[in-house]
Amino acid sequence: MESALQKDIDLNRELQYLNLAIDTVRLDAISQKVASIRQSQEKEQKVETAAPAILRNMYKISLRVAAIIVLFFCVASVYKYSSVSNQSFYNKQFSGYELSNSRGNEIHTAQEDAYQNNKWNEVIAIYNAEANKSNQQSFLAAMAEMQLYRFQNAITLFENLLNSKSVDTTYLEESEYYLSLAYLMNHEGNKAIQMIHKIQSNPNHTYYPIVSKFSSIDLKIIELKNK
Amino acid sequence: MNKKIGFSDSELVKAIREKEMLEPAILQLYRDHAEITRSFIKGKGGTDQDADDIFQETVVSFIDSVQKSKFRQDSGIRTFLISISKNLWYNEIRRRQRAGNRERLFEADRDQEDSGVQEIIQDRELKKQLNQLLQDLGDSCRKILELFYYENLSMKEIVLHLHYENEQVVRNKKYKCLQQLTDKMKLNTLAARQINELINK
């Protein structure tokens, strides 16, 4: 092959153009991914820069009162307020779904194998290729989207699963929990809080033990920041 | 299952090279290294927008270098990123000066030592022009080529992603798109020069 290319300059030229074209496609795909992360970072920064104005107001009020205890309280509040964000709350609460816990020793499907090996794109491709999608397949695809930081895609999958009215009732409660976290990262804090309150109001919910331990102050701050 | 955010340098390079964890890796590049390059560019007369644009381009170039195994880890990720950003910014200033602006050049500061960085800077104009040719093909061509050549999806998977009738339609479309792209490239002077250099090596 190499010697044929050396002899045939036109063939060699064609091959080089083909390589250059493929490289251009590759770079464009990378650029799009980077641009999308940059956008999500910029959104995050905008949300977080809202904090200082409120802080300054609190600081002014505390000066007027001129009480050291109140001042101390304000500083503590300020610190708490600025340190809690959608992102920080998500980082604290998100841990990937452990498939093996619920599946025991059963034989795993290709999608389950891909999921357990963190092959997120493969999990999604298998889901897309499936004609009749089960709740588990939809849930795993949504979790894979979350692992890839594509929260809008994850939300769509979770919402479709929850609204499907299928006879399959598996993964509904898991979906509600992770949907609340996906909403947070998609800057839809109010929807996230609503979902968290829904889980907190149902002691029989699988995720009640986790969600009932969420700090109500943290939730209130997120609610305020998302107003 | 890891919940992870926080690769070491070598894990980060591995995540970028293997692509499966590319998004979290990019996010970490932004979290860990964007601020320092922003400060540098703003310190050299750039605006917030300039700093963001240059860092975005830096990250793309870095990923490209890693995936082509051109990044040697001996220099460290931060050093490499700063070096690319500096050089991109100096080039940008020079380009603007040529366009009639009055910004000053900072050639004295310019990084010359890293040949990997210099290669990135030299290829920049060609890559910009080629990317424009790809954009000109339209979104459907871009998407089909990206899914096949970057995401490595099969024709069957592309049918499902893009809702084409069948695999043959996708195959024909992909062929035509690639052909159009290479035809456009053949008319580009910089691309022709690079191809000639490669052939005559």
* Rounded Cα gap, residues B38 and B43, in angstroms: 8
The verdict on B104 and B11 lying in the same domain is: yes
Classify residue B117: in a domain, yes or no: no
What is the predicted pLDDT for the residue at A91?
81
Q: What is the pLDDT of residues A178-216, one digit of tens each?
A: 999 999 888 888 899 999 999 999 988 989 888 888 888
Q: Say whether A35 and B133 touch across the interface (CB within 8 A).
A: no
Q: Can you tell me the mean pLDDT for B148-164?
A: 88
The verdict on B97 and B47 lying in the same domain is: yes
Confidence of residue A6 (pLDDT cuts 50, 70, 90): low
Answer whether A210 touches B (CB < 8 Å): no
Residues of B in contact with A21 (CB under 8 A): 178, 181-182, 185
The verdict on B18 and B104 lying in the same domain is: yes
Confidence of residue B133 (pLDDT cuts 50, 70, 90): very high
Q: Can you tell me the mean pLDDT for B158-182?
A: 91
Mutation target to probe the B interface, by most B beta carbons within 10 A, among A37, A46, A100, A148 is A37
Q: Can you tell me the mean pLDDT for B176-195?
A: 90
* Rounded Cα gap, residues A128 and B160, in angstroms: 6
From B59, B67, B153, residue closest to A125, measured CB to CB: B153
Which stretch of A132-141, B114-123, B139-148, B165-174 has the lowest confidence by average pLDDT?
B114-123
Confidence of residue B91 (pLDDT cuts 50, 70, 90): confident
The verdict on B153 and B54 lying in the same domain is: no
pLDDT at B5 over 60: no
The verdict on B98 and B146 lying in the same domain is: no
Q: Say whether B195 and A13 touch across the interface (CB within 8 A).
A: yes
| ipTM at complex level | 0.84
The more confident residue out of B99 and A198 is A198
Classify residue B130: in a domain, yes or no: no
CATH topology of domain A88-225: 1.25.40
Classify residue B127: in a domain, yes or no: no
Q: Say whether B56 and A35 touch across the interface (CB within 8 A).
A: yes
Q: How many CB atoms lie within 10 A of CB B93?
A: 20
Q: Where are the alpha helices (DSSP H) in chain B?
A: 9-18, 22-43, 48-67, 77-98, 115-136, 139-149, 155-162, 167-186, 189-200
Q: Which residues of B46-63 are buried (b: 16+ CB within 10 A; e: fewer)?
A: beeebbbbbbbbbbbbbb
Q: In CATH, what number is assigned to the domain containing residue B85?
A: 1.10.1740
Task: Decide if B61 contacts B81 (C-beta within 8 A).
Answer: no
> Which structural domain, as residue segments, surrounds residue B17?
1-112
Task: Decide if A28 contacts B134 (C-beta within 8 A).
Answer: yes
The verdict on B93 and B183 lying in the same domain is: no
Task: Decide if A83 contacts A55 (C-beta within 8 A).
Answer: no
| Residue among B18, B60, B125, B148 nearest A30 (CA) | B60
Which residues, at least 6 apart from A161, have a Cβ–Cβ distance to it below 8 Å?
A135, A138, A139, A142, A171, A172, A175
Confidence of residue A103 (pLDDT cuts 50, 70, 90): very low
Classify residue B145: in a domain, yes or no: yes
Mean pLDDT in chain B? 84
Q: Is the alpha carbon torsion for A12, A15, A21, A27 positive or negative?
A: negative
Helix (H, G, I), strand (E, B) or coil at B129: helix
Helix (H, G, I), strand (E, B) or coil at A132: coil
Q: Say whether B23 and A148 touch across the interface (CB within 8 A).
A: yes
The verdict on B141 and B104 lying in the same domain is: no
Residues of A in contact with B5 (CB under 8 A): 91
Classify residue B92: in a domain, yes or no: yes
What is the predicted pLDDT for the residue at B103?
46
Closest chain B residue to the Cα of A17, Cα to Cα? B182
pLDDT at B144 over 90: yes
The verdict on B95 and B26 lying in the same domain is: yes
The verdict on B152 and B57 lying in the same domain is: no
The verdict on B37 and B88 lying in the same domain is: yes
Closest-CA distance of chain B to residue A78, Å: 23
pLDDT at A156 over 90: yes
Q: N- to C-terminal Cα distance for chain A?
A: 64
What is the predicted pLDDT for the residue at A220?
82
Classify residue B192: in a domain, yes or no: yes
Total domains present in chain B: 2
Q: What is the pLDDT of residues A49-83, one digit of tens each?
A: 666 666 667 767 777 777 767 666 667 667 666 66
Classify residue B125: in a domain, yes or no: no
Residues of A in contact with B149 (CB under 8 A): 22, 25-26
Task: Decide if A7 contacts B194 (C-beta within 8 A).
Answer: no
Identity of residue A69: I
The verdict on B106 and B180 lying in the same domain is: no
Confidence of residue A1 (pLDDT cuts 50, 70, 90): low
Task: Decide if B80 contacts B89 (C-beta within 8 A).
Answer: no
The verdict on B15 and B96 lying in the same domain is: yes
What is the predicted pLDDT for the residue at B4?
43
Q: Say whether A26 and B150 touch across the interface (CB within 8 A).
A: yes
pLDDT at B132 over 90: yes
The number of residues making up chain A comes to 227
Classify residue B60: in a domain, yes or no: yes
The more confident residue out of B114 and B174 is B174
Confidence of residue B134 (pLDDT cuts 50, 70, 90): very high
Q: Say whether B1 and A148 touch across the interface (CB within 8 A).
A: no
